Amino acid sequence: MYLLKLFLSLYIYIYNMNCFPLKNNNKQLFTCYWGGYFDNDKQYPQTLDMVPNFIDIVILAFVGPIKNSKIETTFLCSNYSAETIKMWIKKVQQRGIKVYVSILDTPDTHWDSINLDIFSKSLKELIVDWNLDGVDIDAESGMNSENYVNTFINLINSVKTEICNLPLTYTCYMGTDGPDGDILRATKDKLEYIQLMAYFFDYNSMIMLYNDYKTIMDDNIIIGVKAGEPDMTDLNEVKKLCLWNTNKKGMMLWTFNRDTPQYTNQPLFSWLHIINNNLNLNKINYILEYLNITKTLFLKYF
């Protein structure tokens, strides 16, 4: 009887923490980044056209501004030509996968030193030329802290004005007590969702961070995890994050071309498969997986 009460107590605790949904009507997104600058082994090249079919959105990392406020693709095209990447984009889109591009300023050219409207128009030209499906803003910058909030607000507004109905996302990790709080309160209606990139957090800290951002963004939040050191996300914690809160927007992986034995010492696509196998389970499979987690916790502590 004691063990039964203990099991039921664990079940009630998990349910109250929004970890054990009784239904799963929300189709969560699976997004991942692809960096054109990674030097992969020839055995595991993981070029853009090799992104698995179960990915919803692949995000190209990164493009950014130069001194004249125009966009440059040098970093993204470190190892592959623009024409090659555009060819891969077409192949990926033919399989039903959306392709976004992530924008990030550089140590030499920060957002507060350029004309954002000129940059946004140049970004729009790239979107048309490369036939891209959306834009992600990486919320990292070495710009003057006094300019940080207003500059990111202006960047979001300027980009959204140019790309119109195309989706715009914002990827961050500093919490709402920092600049992100002011930025998101001013721009949340311009954003499709946000992505969290606190890869160095453990499971509980990631949930706390999610709930912090939820005060502004509701459940329009994707949780990011990372394959490969440093700050690699443990696979067991990746699984738990997939199963947690089916109302979340989805899961993100940094990056699919790092999910190889070269970076992880694990089989190819271990992180991708864990996410794919646990993100959008039907009701009964969610219950079975959570019973398994509960059993594991019970055996560990009792």
Structural domains of the chain, count: 1
Residue owning tokens 């710009």: 143
Query: Any idea what the Cα angle at residue 137 is, between residues 132 and 141, rounded to 5°?
Result: 140
Reported confidence tier of residue 3, pLDDT bands at 50, 70, 90? low
Residue 185's contacts (CB-CB under 8 Å, 6 or more residues apart) are 216
Does residue 15 lie in a domain region? no
Does residue 68 lie in a domain region? yes
Q: Report whether 175 contacts 143 (CB < 8 A).
A: no
Does residue 268 lie in a domain region? yes
What is the token pair recorded at 214?
A: 């939820």
* 28: phi then psi, degrees, rounded to nearest 5: -80, 145
Does residue 245 lie in a domain region? yes
Q: Which of 14-28, 71-85, 150-164 shows the lowest mean pLDDT across its residues? A: 14-28
Reported confidence tier of residue 10, pLDDT bands at 50, 70, 90? low
Q: Is a pLDDT exceeding 90 seen at residue 176?
A: yes
Query: Any idea what the Cα angle at residue 54 is, between residues 53 and 57, rounded to 5°?
Result: 90
Q: What is the pTM of this model?
A: 0.89
Q: Which of 30-34, 155-159, 292-296 shows the lowest mean pLDDT across its residues? A: 292-296
Does residue 66 lie in a domain region? yes
> What average pLDDT does the segment 216-231 reach?
96
Q: Who has greater pLDDT, 163 or 286?
A: 163
Reported confidence tier of residue 23, pLDDT bands at 50, 70, 90? very low
Alpha carbon separation from 203 to 241, 272, 299 (Å, rounded): 7, 18, 20
Q: Is a pLDDT exceeding 60 seen at residue 287?
A: no
Does residue 201 lie in a domain region? yes
Domain hosting residue 247, numbered range: 26-301
Does residue 16 lie in a domain region? no
102-153: pLDDT as tens digits = 999 999 999 999 999 999 999 999 999 999 999 999 999 999 999 999 999 9
Rg from Cα positions in the chain = 20
What per-residue confidence (pLDDT) applies to 24?
A: 52
What per-residue confidence (pLDDT) applies to 201?
A: 94
* 110: phi then psi, degrees, rounded to nearest 5: -90, 160
Residue 91's contacts (CB-CB under 8 Å, 6 or more residues apart) are 49
What per-residue confidence (pLDDT) applies to 151?
A: 98
Whichever domain contains 61, its CATH number is 3.20.20.80
> What average pLDDT does the segment 175-182 reach?
97
Q: Is a pLDDT exceeding 60 seen at residue 84?
A: yes
Does residue 11 lie in a domain region? no
Residues 213, 176: Cα–Cα separation, whole Å: 6
CA 268, 134, 69, 143 torsion-angle sign = negative
Residue owning tokens 């947690």: 244
Q: Is a pLDDT exceeding 70 seen at residue 293?
A: no
Mean pLDDT of the chain: 90
Residue 233's contacts (CB-CB under 8 Å, 6 or more residues apart) are 199, 225, 226, 227, 271
Helix/strand/coil (H, E, C) string of 88-140? Answer: HHHHHHHCCCEEEEEECCCCCCCHHHCCHHHHHHHHHHHHHHHCCCEEEEECC
